[in-house]
Chains A and B, each alone.
Chain A
């Protein structure tokens, strides 16, 4: 299995500001994933982050709004830029390990 930690666990932000979420994994992984879970909803994939290359974004998500860094095989960041109340969600980091997908504890973001 993989152990994933995220920082911060939660934050309350003002609209128009940006927040960077960190994800740390206890083992080296090729691909890391960022998901969004809006209140009362299921999980939606934002992007896939590969070390050494640009992240691949899903339909409806763009790099200017959700820039991602992947400096090494155990770490990634997701920035939520120019936030609005509609960005209030849980943001989850995820990795594959031994043919199974594991999730971090999530970052609960509230935008006022």
Chain B
């Protein structure tokens, strides 16, 4: 099925460093969601974005909805060991609601060295 291009594929960083990852698409999306998945668990929602240009924070996490509607990025500041996991972006073609499918990114594996 269709997937979004997410980069980088993996990151290995030192504790305390900042992290940046992004997601791009050839299609316009009207909703962007960022999830984190721990090993053996389901994805947990981190941040939801509903408006082009929107910049939203959740603690040390900040995400932005690109102006072109074709991209989004997620930043993590001052990383800690529990940030380890796989981060997925997901875009929705429609204007929210269950009738419009989510398209998922390929994922970014984050490893944090204490």
- CA of A4 to CA of B3 in the docked complex: distance in angstroms? 25
A96 close to B (CB within 8 Å)? yes
Do A106 and B41 touch (CB < 8 A)? Answer: yes
Q: Does B42 lie within 8 Å of A92, measured CB to CB?
A: yes
Bin chain A's interface residue count.
Answer: 20 to 34
Known: A42-B3, A59-B1. A99 touches B42 (CB 8 A): no
Binds A, one of B52-60, B61-69, B99-107: B99-107
Once the chains bind, are B106 and A42 in contact (CB under 8 Å)? yes
Contacts of A45 in B (CB 8 A): 1, 101-102
A79 CB to closest chain B CB (Å) equals 19
Contacts of A18 in B (CB 8 A): none
0/1 interface trace, chain A 81-112, chain B, CB 8 Å (1 if under): 00000000010100110011111111010000
Bound Cα distance A105, B37 (Å): 10
Q: Which of A30, A59, A90, A100 contacts B48 (CB 8 A)?
A: A100
The 8 Å CB contact of A30, one of B96, B98, B107, is B98
B interface SS class:
loop
The residue that A99 contacts in the complex, of B41, B50, B105, with Cβ under 8 A, is B50
Q: Does B104 contact A99, Cβ atoms closer than 8 Å? A: no
CA distance A101 to B44 in the complex (A): 10
User: Is B74 part of the binding interface, using a Cβ–Cβ cutoff of 8 Å?
Assistant: no
B contact residues, range: 20 to 34
Chain B residues with Cβ under 8 A from A90's Cβ?
Answer: 42
Q: Give the residues from 1 to 54 in chain B that come closer than 8 angstroms, CB to CB, to chain A.
A: 1, 3, 31, 33, 35, 40-45, 48, 50
Nearest to A61 among chain B residues (CB) is B1
Q: Which residues on the A side are within 8 Å of B35 (C-beta)?
A: 103
| Nearest Cβ on chain B to A85's Cβ, whole angstroms | 20
* Contact of B1 with A103 in the complex, beta carbons under 8 Å: no
Are B98 and A43 in contact (CB-based, < 8 A)?
no
A23–B102 alpha-carbon span in the complex (Å): 19
Residues in A lying within 8 Å of B, measured CB to CB: 4, 29-31, 41-45, 58-60, 90, 92, 95-96, 99-106, 108
Known: A42-B3, A103-B44. 7 other contacts (CB 8 A): A29-B98, A42-B107, A43-B43, A45-B102, A96-B97, A99-B48, A103-B43
